Chains A and B, each alone.
Chain A
Amino acid sequence: MKEQMIRKWTALLLMGMTLLLMFIFVISDKKEFSENENRYLAKFPAFEWGKIRSGEFMEGLESYTADHFPFRDFLMGVKTQTEILAGKKEINDIYIAEDGYLIEEYQKPENTERIGNILKAFAGELEGEELEIRLMLVPTAVYVYEDKLPARAPRRNQMETAEQIYEISGIERIDCSRDLLAWKISAQVFGQRTGELYYRTDHHWTTLGAYVGYTAFCREMGLEAVSLDEMETRVVAEDFRGTVYSKAGDYTRKGDAITIYTNPMDRLTVKYVDTEETSDSLYNLEYAEVKDKYSLFLDNLHSLIEIENETADSDRELVLVKDSYANSMVPFLVRHYKKIYVFDTRYYKQGVSEFVKGHPGVTDVLILYNMNTLDTDLGIRGVY
C-alpha cells in the first residue's frame, strides 16, 4: 500500500514541477541579453497572419520559450555536467582538453576556394601599386595545442587549408604557425618563457600568442621586433570567461587572466572613424569589468580605426585588414608604423582597395585572420 502512496506522490511531484516552472516562466522578468552566452536572447515573435501561416511565429515562440526558460544558466550547466559525467570529451563542438583547456574544434572548411579567390581578386585590384602585401593566417588553439586534445580526438590540419588559400590567393605569406609551435616547445623544454599562447576559455590567442605572431611578422618584413622586456606589463583582468567557456557550458571552470603590453615610447592617437571618438590608448578598460573582456582590445568592433604614432620608427603606413585576432597584435605593430588603418571587413563596406588607391601614403598591407572564423563568418567577403 505504501508503494501506491509513493507512486501517487511521484506523479504529483512531476506535475508540480511542471506547473511551478510554467508559473515562474510566466511571472519572471525576461532578460534581453545573456551575459553567459554573450548574445541577445530571442524576442517574443510578432503576431501576424503571414508569420503564422509560414510557421515563423511558432518557431519564434519556441526559441523564445527556450531562451527565457527559468534557471536557464543552471540548466545549461546541468546538461554539460551530465555529458562530462557520461564521459563525453566533446560538447557543443568544444573539446574538453587537458590542463584546463577548452578548445574549439576545427570544422570541415567549406569555403577554402572561395576565400582564396576573394583574396586573389583583392590582390589583383592593387596590382601596379607600390605596396608590400602580406597574408597571415593564424592557427587556433586546436592546431598549436594539439597535444592537449583528448586522446583519439579527430584532427583536421588547419595549416593544410591555409596552404591552399596561400596558393590560390598568390599573396606572399607570413606563416607564424611554426613560431607558435617553437615557442610552446621551448617553454616545455626549458621551462622558461612560460605562459599561455591561447586563452583556456576563449577562442582568441593571448597577448603572448599575439607577440609570437608579431615576431614572425617582423622576421618576414625585415623589422626588428621590440623585446617584451621593453614593454610595460599590466594584468587587467583575472577572471576572463570567454566564448568557448559559454559554448561548453561548464560553469565550474576558472577564468583566464588578461595581460596587456604598452610600449612607453609610443605617443598614440587612436581615431575610431565610425563613432568619431578619439583616444590615446589602444585599450578600453571599461570592458575589463564586463563578461566580454576581449573587447578591451581596440574597443571591440569598429569598421575603421586610424592609429597614429608620433614617435614611430619609420614613416611607413600600414593597412591592416583583419578579424579580432589582430586586435591584440596591434599594440606591438604601432612601433613600426607612423600610421595604421585598421579595417574590419564585416562592417567596412566602401572597399578597402579603393581606400588604398586613394591614400598614396600607404606602403604596406597586412591581411590577418584566424583559421576558424575565416571559414565560418566569411567577413573577408567585404575586402573589395
Chain B
Amino acid sequence: MVFSSIPFLFFFLPVCLILYYMVPYRWKNSVLLFFSLVFYAWGEPVYIILMFFATAVDYCNGRLMERFDKREGMRKLFLVCSVAVNLSVLAFFKYADFLIATFNGLFSASIKPLGLGLPVGISFFTFQTMSYSIDLYRRKVPVEKNYLDYLTYVSMFPQLVAGPIVRYSVVNRELRSREIKREEVGEGLFRFMQGLFKKVLIANQAGALWEEIRALEAGSASVATAWLGALAFTLQLYFDFSAYSDMAIGMGRMLGFQFPENFNYPLSSVSVTDFWRRWHISLSSWFRDYVYIPLGGNRKGTLRHLRNMLIVWFLTGLWHGAAWNFVLWGLYYGILLILEKYVWGKALERLPKICGHIYAVLIVVVGFVIFVFDDMGALGGYFRSMAGCAGNEWWGEEFLWYLLNYKVVLAAAVVLAFPVYPWFKGKVELAGEGIKTGASLLAMAGYAVLFVVTVAFLVNDTFNPFLYFRF
C-alpha cells in the first residue's frame, strides 16, 4: 500500500490511529505491530515470512550475544552469523538474477534467472536489523528481550518500505515507553500532510513531465527538452523520496516516535560533498558508520582512503538497485567526491556561492540520468540528446510547450527545493501577534484547500507511481 492512496488515507491510517489512541499503553505496540503486518502483507502477502525470518535470526543472535557476554569470540561469531544471514537474504532476493545475468554475459553461459519478485522494503529492513546487531556487538544498545517489540521496531509501517532507515539505538527507549502528546500529534499530522502534498501535487506532476519527455522518439527531443526532462526527473525523485520521509516522520510523531531527518534541501547544495550530507542522510550515515569507518575511513593514508571511498560508493550504488547503472551512479559520486576532496574542493570554496550551486545541481541532474536508465543503450542515447550529438536541435517548439504546460509545478518545485519554508516560518516567529495570527489562518486555509485538491488528484486515478520497488 502506498501512503498516497485512498485506502491508506481514508481507511488504514484513521482506523489504525483511532485504535492506537484508544488502547492503554501496554497494548500500543501490539496494535502498531498488527497494523504494520497488515500493511506489509498488503503489498507482499507471501514475503512477509522473510521479514519474520530475518528479525527472528537477529533477535536470537542478540540474545545469544548477551548470554555469552564475557566471551568476545562467541559474540563475534553471533555478529558474523547475523550479518551473514541478512546479507544472504538480500543477495538472494535482490541480486541473484543480476549476478546470473552478469555471469551469463561474461562467460556466455545460459543459467536460467530465478525470476523472483523483489520483496518491497527488503533493503531497508535488512539494513535496520543489521544496525541492531552491530550496535549490540559494539555495546551501544541494550539487548531487546521481547521479540514482538523487536518485530514492531523493524516492521513499523511508517518507515518500512521507503525509509528513513531508523536505527534501533534511536528508538529503543521510545519502544519501551513513550508519551503521546497532543501537540506532537498535531505537528506530526502537519508534517504528514506536507509530505502528501509534495508527493501528489509536485512529485507526480514532475514525474508525468519526465515520462512524456522520456517517451519522445530518440533524437526528436531538442537539447533543451532533454535537459528539462532530466531536471523533471531530479525534481520527481527528490520530492517523491523526501515526501515519503516527511510522511514517515509525521506518522512517527503521531505515534510517539522521533525518526531522524532524511533530507535537508539537497538540491540547494554548494558541492557534491554537501549534497551527500543532505540527501538520504540515514543511508549515507549508515554506510559511514558501518562500512566506511570500520574500513579505516581516511585515517590510514591516502591510498586506503581512496580504496574505502570506492568500496563505499560502489556499495551505495548497488544498494539502490541490482543493475550496472546503479553501480555506475555510485562510482560516479565516489570519483567526484574524491576529486572534490583532493583536487578542486578548496578552489570551489573560494568561488562565489552561486558557482557552487550551479556546479552541484549540474552534477546531480546528470547523475540522476545515469540512475534512471538501466539500459545502457538508452542511457547513451539520452546523453547524446543532452549533448546535442543526436542530430537534434538545440531548442524546439516542444520545449516551450512542456515548459508552459508545467510552469506552475516546475516553479513551485524549484522554489521549494530551497529552504524557503523554514525561512518564512522563522520570519513569522519574529513578527508581531497580528501577523502570526494572519499567517496561521492562512496556513489553515492552505491545508484545507490543498487537502481537497490532493484528494481530487488521487481520486482521478492519475499517474501515482511508487519509485522504490527496486531499492
Contact = CB atoms under 8 A, between A and B. Distances in A.
B6 A153 contact: no
Nearest to A2: B437
A278 to B, nearest CB: 42
Q: Chain A CB within 10 Å — which of B9, B182, B453, B455 has the most?
A: B455
A92 B460 CA distance: 10
B451 A14 contact: yes
Interface string A51-90: 0110100100111011001001001101100100011111
Contacts of A78: 452-453, 456
A53 B447 contact: no
B203 to A, nearest CB: 15
Given A78-B452, A82-B456, A87-B404, A62 B447 contact: no
Main secondary structure of the interface of A (DSSP, over half): helix
Given A18-B9, A72-B459, A2 B408 contact: no
B443 A10 contact: yes
A108 B216 CA distance: 9
A282 B6 CA distance: 45
A10 B444 contact: yes
A75 B460 contact: yes
Interface in B425-454: 433, 436-437, 439-441, 443-444, 447-448, 451-453
A22 B42 contact: no
Given A69-B6, A79-B460, A87-B404, A21 B398 contact: no
B366 interface: no
Interface residues of A, number: 44
A152 B398 CA distance: 6
B425 to A, nearest CB: 12
Given A13-B448, A65-B10, A79 B405 contact: no
Contact of B437 (A3, A9, A18): A3
B433 to A, nearest CB: 7
Interface string B401-430: 100111111000000000000000000000
B116 interface: no
B14 A19 contact: yes
Nearest to B46: A53
Interface in A76-112: 76, 78-79, 82, 86-90, 92, 108
A8 interface: yes
Interface string A1-27: 011001111110111011101100100
Q: Chain A CB within 10 Å — which of B9, B406, B409, B456 has the most?
A: B456
B237 interface: no
Interface in B203-238: 215, 217
B45 interface: yes
Interface of B: 1, 5-7, 9-11, 14, 42-43, 45-46, 182, 185-186, 189-190, 193, 215, 217, 397-398, 400-401, 404-409, 433, 436-437, 439-441, 443-444, 447-448, 451-453, 455-462
Contacts of B443: 6-7, 10
Contacts of B440: 2-3, 6-7, 10
A154 interface: yes
Given A2-B433, A2-B436, A90-B405, 9 more contacts: A2-B437, A15-B189, A17-B452, A18-B14, A55-B43, A55-B45, A66-B461, A69-B6, A76-B456
Contacts of B215: 108
A152 B397 contact: yes
Given A55-B45, A152-B397, A9 B444 contact: yes
Interface of A: 2-3, 6-11, 13-15, 17-19, 21-22, 25, 52-53, 55, 58, 61-63, 65-66, 69, 72, 75-76, 78-79, 82, 86-90, 92, 108, 152-154, 249
Contacts of B436: 2-3
A149 B217 CA distance: 21
B5 A62 contact: yes
Contacts of A86: 407-409
A275 to B, nearest CB: 34
A87 B453 contact: no
Contacts of B460: 75-76, 79, 249
B5 to A, nearest CB: 6
B441 A79 contact: no
Given A9-B444, A75-B456, A76-B460, A65 B398 contact: no
A207 B217 CA distance: 36
Contact of A152 (B401, B409, B458): B401
Contacts of A25: 10
B459 A75 contact: yes
B453 A58 contact: no
Contacts of B461: 63, 66
A66 B459 contact: yes
A76 B459 CA distance: 7
A203 B1 CA distance: 36
Contacts of A58: 1, 42-43
B404 A152 contact: yes
Given A22-B14, A75-B460, A6 B444 contact: yes
A69 B459 contact: yes
B311 to A, nearest CB: 37
Contacts of B453: 78-79, 82
A72 B462 CA distance: 14
B437 A14 contact: no
Nearest to A107: B215
A98 B457 CA distance: 25
A75 B10 CA distance: 15
Contacts of B406: 88
A72 B443 CA distance: 26
B405 A87 contact: yes
A76 B401 CA distance: 24
B251 to A, nearest CB: 14
